[in-house]
Chain A
Amino acid sequence: MAEVSIRDVTKSYGTTKVLHGVSFDVADGEFVALVGPSGCGKSTLLRMIAGLEEISSGTVSIAGRVVNDVEPKQRDIAMVFQNYALYPHMSVRDNMGFSLHLRGASKAEIAAAVSKAAEILGLTPYLDRTPKQLSGGQRQRVAMGRAIVRQPAVFLFDEPLSNLDAALRVQMRAEIRALHERLGSTSIFVTHDQVEAMTMADRIVVMRAGRLEQAGPPLELYDRPANAFVAGFIGSPAMNFLEAVAEGGQVRLASGQVLEVASAATGAVLYGIRPEHLELTNPDAPGAIVGQVGIVESTGTAMFVAMQAGALTLHAVFTDRPNIKRGDQIGLMPKPGLVHLFDAKTGLRLS
């Protein structure tokens, strides 16, 4: 059990800087997700916490101790790799017991720890198999088992679910979360999938291009994104952004339409509204954005509608299956209080 503290951490490969000073803290027992698009530096940062990458500047501390120059094996961390990295020539039992064996634990201790972890993960019948005799999900569990047997201070997960099929991913998501609640250990989870981050984490750290964009609880990021990038990254389908000019509690869209907003902002803004915060109305309702229905996709629980309003495309989600089809003229009404305004230049949240 330990807290992790990242202070002004940078990483350069030669002259290329991939991390530009990232700082955040992970409290003891907290489950933090690091999300961002590919190449944002989240995996590099995780590997720096693990000790697999040099830290160019700044400090990483685990349990109050700066570990910049501490070997990975002395950091008391366990990591689940994206490709699992199971030892293919060892049985599941030996894979899971390897770390304890290296620490000089007795045979009885190892056997007890392995069988306990195997029980938690449902691996008991497979202990004598080798990894190649296991399915993808079982291998994933062995990778988890290898991490939990020795009860490390911190768990690191490097996109562990990205190799699983959709159904298994949802199941493992719940299992990892349940495991975290059971063990109460500090966990840092890297993913590019914002749904994984939203559903699993106590707190999300959003990164882009080597910089921290926003850190906070999932719903805070959803409700009050600090900038347009976070607003667009968190939430699926992504938020609609309309270019507009704000003045005196109103915004004027590029199409000339004027919408009321609860903000005193002025100047060029991005008017953001999530697809699920658009209500279907008659085309002639006052304040509605009017357009023609384009693509309609239905998943059963929800209906995804793309509406063409001149040069603009607005995406909306309905759960009540309205009777609309391609080519229909409809109006979309932003729900009051759920509009986000961002500075058009800096992308920062206004109001």
Chain B
Amino acid sequence: MSRRFKHLPGQVGLCLGVALLVLWSVGPVYWSFVTSITPPNALVSDNLHFWPQTTTWEHYAKLFGATSTSQGNEVASVWPQFSRAFANSLITSLAATALVVIIAAFGAWAFVRLEFPGRNVLFVLVVATLAIPAYTVMIPLYRLMISMGLIDTYTGVTLIYVSAFLPLALWLMRSVYQAMPLSLEEAAWLDGASKLRAFVQIVLPLAGPGLVACGILTFLSAWGQFMVPLVFSPTLATKPLTVLIPEFVTRNYVDYGLMNAAGIIAILPPMLLVLFLNRYLVSGLMAGAGK
């Protein structure tokens, strides 16, 4: 075998693996998009097409329209519900993300740089909560939330998200800070900075990529939450898209087109966020600090 083909089997395997992964992750999104532009009657036909023979924007019109038709009858528009749920999703996810990033930024630094008794035990306890399945705490949590009057409030849902996603963010930020040389902070102290000032002006800017990663992870997790809001957001006061969209299933009719149109719209915010923040996920910020 010549040298050129020596790595051929490996490369073919790699391509195959990549193709599978892409199919696995993009496939459902593609199918959702195709469904959202297929006329309703074609959706239930026997012949499946990878690209619809006729395309239509009627599902989107139904979603955004002031009035709506369903199976030939004029029905109430879903826009008020949809827009409300969209706002709810955005508010709870953004609030949780902001809180988690801020708390993790300071908390993880305390776990790395401040000496206090039980520091490591406490940290392990916090991270260990990641291993507890959400279902096991659902009932006690529900009673707790009722007693505090936090059911169906932004505060309640956001607090649950923060408690669920903070441990991972703390863990991530701790390793970010651990990788940072202490001498940078020491240099700032000798330059005349207080501990807080050295943290805010020297450490935080360098921890930027870690904070962005925490933000992305938290936002995506919160945006995709279903179980928690299903239980804690019973009305449109706080109900997010993930809970609203499945409700487009009615007793007599499953509106696949509408559900998938709504799903495609629901994908946009996290996609835009990742595209926007991706450029801050640069590595090598620390280059030049040392030799």
Contact = CB atoms under 8 A, between A and B. Distances in A.
Interface of A: 50-52, 71-73, 77-79, 81-89, 98-99, 102-103, 130-134, 136, 139, 146, 163
Q: How large is the interface on B (under 10, 10 to 19, 20 to 34, 35 or more residues)?
A: 20 to 34
Contact of A88 (B192, B193, B286): B286
A72 B288 contact: no
Contacts of B184: 85, 87
Nearest to A132: B288
Contacts of A89: 205-206, 285
Contact of A85 (B193, B194, B205, B290): B290
B207 to A, nearest CB: 11
Contacts of B206: 88-89
Contact of A83 (B191, B197, B202, B290): B290
A88 B288 contact: yes
Nearest to B186: A52
Interface of B: 181, 183-184, 186-194, 197, 202, 205-206, 284-291
A256 to B, nearest CB: 53
A72 B291 contact: no
Contact of A73 (B183, B190, B284, B287): B190
Q: Which 4 A-B pairs have the closest CB atoms?
A: A132-B288, A131-B288, A163-B291, A99-B191
B192 A73 contact: yes
Nearest to A140: B291
A132 B287 contact: yes
Given A81-B186, A146-B191, A86 B291 contact: no
Contacts of A84: 289-291
A314 to B, nearest CB: 39
A58 to B, nearest CB: 21
Contact of A86 (B186, B190, B289): B289
B190 A88 contact: no
B76 to A, nearest CB: 54
26 contacts: A52-B190, A72-B189, A73-B193, A77-B190, A78-B191, A79-B186, A79-B187, A79-B190, A81-B183, A83-B183, A83-B289, A84-B290, A85-B183, A85-B186, A85-B290, A86-B290, A88-B289, A89-B205, A89-B285, A98-B191, A99-B192, A102-B191, A102-B197, A131-B287, A131-B289, A139-B290
A163 B186 CA distance: 19
B291 A88 contact: no
B193 A136 contact: no
B189 A73 contact: yes
A136 B190 contact: no
Nearest to A84: B290
B289 A130 contact: no
A338 to B, nearest CB: 40
A95 to B, nearest CB: 9
